[in-house]
Structure 1
Amino acid sequence: MASEKGLNELLKWSIENSAAPDPSAPESTAPRSTLSADALAAIMGGPSDAELMQAAVEHITSSDPEITLESKLTAFDNLEQLVESLDNANLLSKLGLWTPLLELLAHEEDQLRLMAAWCVGTAVQNNAPSQERLVALGGVEKLVAMALGDRLPVEKRAGAGEETTTTTTTEEEGAAAAGQEESKDVRRKAVYALSSAVRNYQPALDVAAKELRKRGEDVQEGIDATDMDAVNGLINGLKQKALIA
């Protein structure tokens, strides 16, 4: 397995070299990163998708001030493409990446919240095991709140493992979040993720419908998750709300 240092350098090199060169840039422009022996070994050894997913999440969640928002967004884009594969989407649970991914739904940067919702929607699409994990970790309730325009409070992890992790929010943080509205673009992406989560998976639809009714939405009882007309009616209503927000 490639070393963590090599993977991080590989990710940095990939991000920097994914952008087209600027022909107007002066010749004195600082050179891009070069690959160390560890990073080259990672390439020659072919880092696994699991290693790339872990490196991407570590990059996105890093507090290193030298890591730019643009760099994190590129890493998020790479992650979203990786979880288009059902096998990779199911790796999120095995690698313990669902918890940090769901925490990013509450990130202060709206672009990162949008990408988090996008990744969630891609990972659970036509994927019952991933839909199950989303339900188990309270992700459906989060998506409902976002779809209706609520900013999620920042959550602080209170455990080491994904299966036992709980999150807490202070009264001050909760009050601050309650006074903020989610952006229109993030709301629309949350609706997309919710749509992917509830289709053909009854437990997720039941949770979503219950949460929507609790929040005052007129949602009928007993919607069948395999009835696409009924599901489309529910999702289209949320889309319209997000568009006119």
Structure 2
Amino acid sequence: MSRSLDPSQALLRWGIENAAPGTLTETAEQVKAGKRPDLNTDILKAMMGQSDADRMKECVMVIEGQWVDRDGSGEVKNNSDITDEDRYRAWEDLEMLVEELDNANDLQNMGLWQPIVKHLTDADDEVVKHACWVCGTAVQNNPKSQQAFLALDPLPTVQSILASTDASHETRAKAMYCLSSTLKHSEPAVQRFDELGGWQTLTQTLQDPSLKLRTKTAFLLSQLMNQSQSPSSLLSSLRSAATLPTLIDSLSPSTAVPTGSSGEQEAIDPDFRDKGLRFLANAVESTKGADGLSAEEKTKVQAVVREFEQVEGWSFEDVGLAQDEWESFKRALA
């Protein structure tokens, strides 16, 4: 139910909005120092606004089913009256907050990682999607948060979402985002992923009906090849898990698994094509002089390259390569 704003609160808001610059900060310091017993912490909060830490805590409270008047509207709800939309908005707000590095790191300090990760197994597909999104954003390019996230061993759950036939395309795409953010520049995460048979999961996602998920998989593989300290070992693992041959086959119309929920789309998507070829170029460059592509694999990739070069309007620049890099790649396949 709703209630009108208390007159004293309305007066307080008017005072805040019309206060002289600098006076609010000075008063806040006095309250903190105990020199203004006439002002309580609620008034201080209204004067100075909430910290991001407070906002994150309140988001998680709503997600967990505890009502918080986050808008300051004066609305009151019983916990049982919290709607799915209230929770979804709290997830969206939390995701925006953890875009900030310090806020993401505060998740561990505030004990918020556990309740967030718990929702990766929620019965509501929309909640799982949001949980993957928040986790992926929090750990992206953030070693400290990656470590805190990995301490909860979430990768088995993320993999199960990717392999699930019940999860929506959108949720699986967010799970891939979460996985990519976790594996990027984190050798412990890659090792754990390998232990869990993660490459087989990527073999599956390369054949997923969702073209978006296939493209994200190809992009992730390219990133992992770039960052790998042992590219030959990675290539061997991808070969053993059938990830490498599946990717190569996916780049040719004659061997690719059709996309779409009913397999109705047979053409190779340009974005997927370019990201897949970029992975192969990275693999060839990274394993130069070592155990790289086999003769059979090179023959298949050569055929794919010839098909690409015959596509009207296509250029090696679409793969992100300069002409000399493209020519070097083709020579390495010979």
TM over 0.5: yes
**Does 136-145 or 79-88 show the bigger shift?**
136-145
1:96 paired to 2:111: yes
Cα shift readout 1:198-241 (whole Å, capped 9, x = no counterpart): 01111111212322359676699xx667249989x97x97xx99
Contact 1:121 1:192 in 2 (8 A): yes
**Cα pair 1:202 1:224 within 8 Å, conserved:** no
Q: Distance in 1 between matches of 2:127 and 2:182?
A: 20
Aligned pair partner of 1:184 in 159, 169, 185 = 169
CA distance in 2 between partners of 1:109 and 1:33 (Å): 34
Q: Name 1:148's counterpart in structure 2.
A: 163
Distance of 1:227 and 1:182 partners within structure 2: 30
C-alpha change, 1:56 and 1:206, in structure 2 (3 Å) is: same
Residue number among 162, 165, 182 corresponding to 1:197 in the alignment: 182
State the partner residue of 2:92.
77
* Highest RCO, 1 vs 2 (Cα 8 Å, sep ≥ 6): 1
TM-score, with structure 1 as normaliser: 0.62
What residue identity is the alignment partner of 1:92? L
Bigger mean CA deviation after superposition, 36-45 or 117-126: 36-45
On the 8 A contact 2:53/2:103 being kept in 1, the answer is yes
Q: Indicate the residue corresponding to 1:105 in structure 2.
A: 120
Relative to structure 1, is the Cα distance of residues 198 and 225 closer, same or farther in structure 2, using a 3 angstrom cutoff?
farther
Cross-structure match for 1:117:
132
Q: Is the 1:60–1:76 Cα contact (8 Å) retained in structure 2? A: yes
Q: Which residue of 2 aligns with 1:60?
A: 63
In structure 2, C-alpha distance between the alignment counterparts of 1:114 and 1:59, rounded to whole Å: 17
- Cα distance, 1:33 vs. partner? 6.5
Give me the CA root mean square deviation: 3.6
**Bigger fraction of residues in helix:** 2
3-state SS, counterpart of residue 65 of structure 1: helix
Give the structure with higher Rg (CA): 2
- State whether residues 125 and 171 of structure 2, in contact with CA within 8 Å, keep that contact through their aligned partners in structure 1: yes
Residue 227 of structure 2: aligned partner? 226
Give distance in 2, aligned partners of 1:121 and 1:68: 25
Displacement of 1:186 in angstroms is 1.1
Alignment correspondent of 2:152: 137
Gaps of 5+ in 2: 10-40, 67-78, 205-220, 251-256, 262-334
Indicate how the Cα distance of structure 1 residues 66 and 194 shifts in structure 2: closer, same or farther if over 3 A, else same: same
2:137 alignment partner AA: T
Fraction of identical pairs, as percent:
31
Counterparts of 1:33 and 1:212 in 2: how far apart (Å)? 57
Q: Is the 8 A contact 2:159 2:201 kept in 1?
A: no
Task: From the superposition, tell whether residues 67 and 39 of structure 1 become closer, same or farther in structure 2 (CA, over 3 Å).
Answer: farther
* Bigger mean CA deviation after superposition, 181-190 or 91-100: 181-190
| Deviation for aligned residue 1:68 | 0.8
Conserved? CA contact 2:121–2:157, under 8 Å: no
Q: 1:215 to 1:40 in 2, by over 3 A?
A: farther
Contact 2:162 2:201 survives alignment (8 Å): no
Measured in 2, the distance between the counterparts of 1:33 and 1:110 equals: 36
Structure 1 unaligned spans of 5+? 1-29, 151-180
Change over 3 Å in CA distance of 1:121–1:216 after alignment to 2:
closer
Which residue pairs with 1:22 in the alignment? none
Contact 2:108 2:148 in 1 (8 A): yes
Relative to 1, partners in 2 of residues 1:204 and 1:32: Cα closer, same or farther, differing over 3 Å?
Answer: farther
Distance 2:3 2:125 in 1: 28
